[in-house]
Amino acid sequence: MNGAEGLIRSLLASGVDTCFTNPGTSEMHFVAALDRIEGMRCVLALFEGVVTGAADGYGRMKDRPASTLLHLGPGLANGLANLHNARRAYTPIVNVVGEHATWHQRYDPPLASPIEQIARSNSCWVKTTASPQTVGEDAAAAVAASMEAPGGSATLVLPADVAWTEGGSVAAKRPVPPRRKVDEARVRAAADALRKGRAALVLNGPMLRAGPLELCGRIAAATGAELLCPTQMNRAERGAGRVAIDRIPYVVEMAQKRLANLRALVLVNSRQPVNFFAYPEKPSLPMTKDCEVLALAELEEDGVDAAERLADLLGARKSEPKREPLSRPALPTGATTLPGLAAVIAALMPEQCIVSDESITSGRGLVAATKNAPPHDWLVNPGGSIGFAMPVAIGAAVACPDRKVLCLQSDGAGMYTVQALWTMARESLDIVTLVFANRAYEILKGELKSVGAGEPGRRARDMLEIGRPDLDWVALAKGQGVPGSRAGDLDELARQLGAALREKGPRLIEVRL
């Protein structure tokens, strides 16, 4: 058994059975070992940003890591944007990055680079495995590190000679430390803040699953507190029958208005609200200066246990939470509008759908419009680096093959990882992708005004608009094996989306705006 075989067997022993991959020469012994060892599903992507984004989507839905296989430092660098997004979502991922043979590195070959240094920017754990005898323990340690709260990417660098040398070792799965319990004083402080009124629980991470939301809904019902989550939560279980939670708006003025009446924010596995960017003469934080911010549970702590103890202290167990009723809008007709677009999606979303949302400006009404749709999961981008939705949809579809995935993709962001369509086709993944084609980086037009830079002139418009020529998403999809169509109005969108959701396999609909 060589080092590559020991690594694969150790990953499998630790529960990692899926590898999103774009290999190169230094990883060929890993590739060959995958032929000899059963149990690892390998999913090829044509760009490393798709590889890492798919691992993010998989980890969010499975609550355990997939592996990536990346080629040296440049391959890792190509995947960094979506590893950044995964870091902000606290997604468990194990990156395996090939490296030149140890004795070859001193000659500084063309693809040589400081891989560990590149990896540290978005990894919670980094190590170069030294020998085939240690590769098994290193693999087990990487998996455990990725799953240790709050979760993150662990990067294991594999030199080519370690991969091909005999003497590979296999290690058993390592235990993952449980989340640390919260001190009782913080539970009492949170209870005091909630009893005073005009308070909100700000939830993220595991607190946005149906069970913890139900518990926090009881606390809210008992105290009159509001339930909030960040603009960019990592995964929320929402829809009919589940407890309602309000998303803090992205736009600074809207966020300030939403939080203006609150005098206490109790954070549960969430950071404090912060504006995405700085703006001249605007504060960095959207809450008022006299609003108290206290952490019931930090990111790595046991927020569920803390909320249970808080509920007991407040006598909230028997309080009835506010749950969303099932209510679908009537299908609108006529010209495409953003409210009409949101209504069509809300009317047709299937039960247990997984939504990967990078609709940006075109979809700002979607979260509100779909809160009464059948139960579903909603994935957004806490890191803000675009090119997120289609790769994440791949990972979600691989993780949950029995559930429909709806990918809401803006056209500008979609071009960052357009190769994802090819992987959808090759793997026959059950993903419907809606591309909102406004032929512009529309959000940047708004940001130009928000930072006080004025209206865009000709040269500025050339940097903010992506027409001339217009992208043909139907042709782009067809060229990569995904059936596509174009919707010019709401009637066409409803007809095409309804048909796509009834069928199996990948579909794309370009929505002209």
Residue 358 has pLDDT above 80, yes or no: yes
Structural domain of residue 485, as residue ranges?
Answer: 338-512
71-124 pLDDT per residue, tens: 999 999 999 999 999 999 999 999 999 999 999 999 999 999 999 999 999 999
Bond before 283 cis per omega within 30 degrees: no
* pLDDT category of residue 241 using cuts at 50, 70 and 90: very high
Tell whether 330 is covered by a domain.
no
Residue 445 has pLDDT above 80, yes or no: no
Phi, psi angle pair for 429, to nearest 5°: -80, 145
Same domain, yes or no: 395 and 260: no
Tell whether 176 is covered by a domain.
no
Strand bridging mode 264-268 / 199-203? parallel
Tell whether 323 is covered by a domain.
no
Tell whether 177 is covered by a domain.
no
What is the 8-class DSSP label of residue 133?
T
Phi, psi angle pair for 268, to nearest 5°: -125, 105
Residue 363 has pLDDT above 90, yes or no: no
Average pLDDT value for the chain: 96
Same domain, yes or no: 159 and 269: no
Same domain, yes or no: 490 and 352: yes
Is-contact 432 496, C-beta < 8 A? no
Residue 197 has pLDDT above 90, yes or no: yes
CATH number of domain containing 140: 3.40.50.970
* pLDDT category of residue 462 using cuts at 50, 70 and 90: confident
Collapse the DSSP code of 248 into the 3-class scheme (helix H, G, I; strand E, B; otherwise coil) and give the result.
coil
Compute the distance between CA of residue 502 and CA of residue 349 in angstroms, rounded to an integer. 11
Tell whether 333 is covered by a domain.
no
157-172 pLDDT per residue, tens: 999 999 999 999 999 9
Is-contact 57 393, C-beta < 8 A? yes
- Record the pTM: 0.96
Strand bridging mode 353-358 / 246-247? unpaired
Least confidently predicted of 67-76, 309-318, 420-429, 450-459: 450-459
Same domain, yes or no: 198 and 131: no
* pLDDT category of residue 248 using cuts at 50, 70 and 90: very high
Residue 303 has pLDDT above 80, yes or no: yes
The tally of domains found in the chain comes to: 3
Tell whether 50 is covered by a domain.
yes
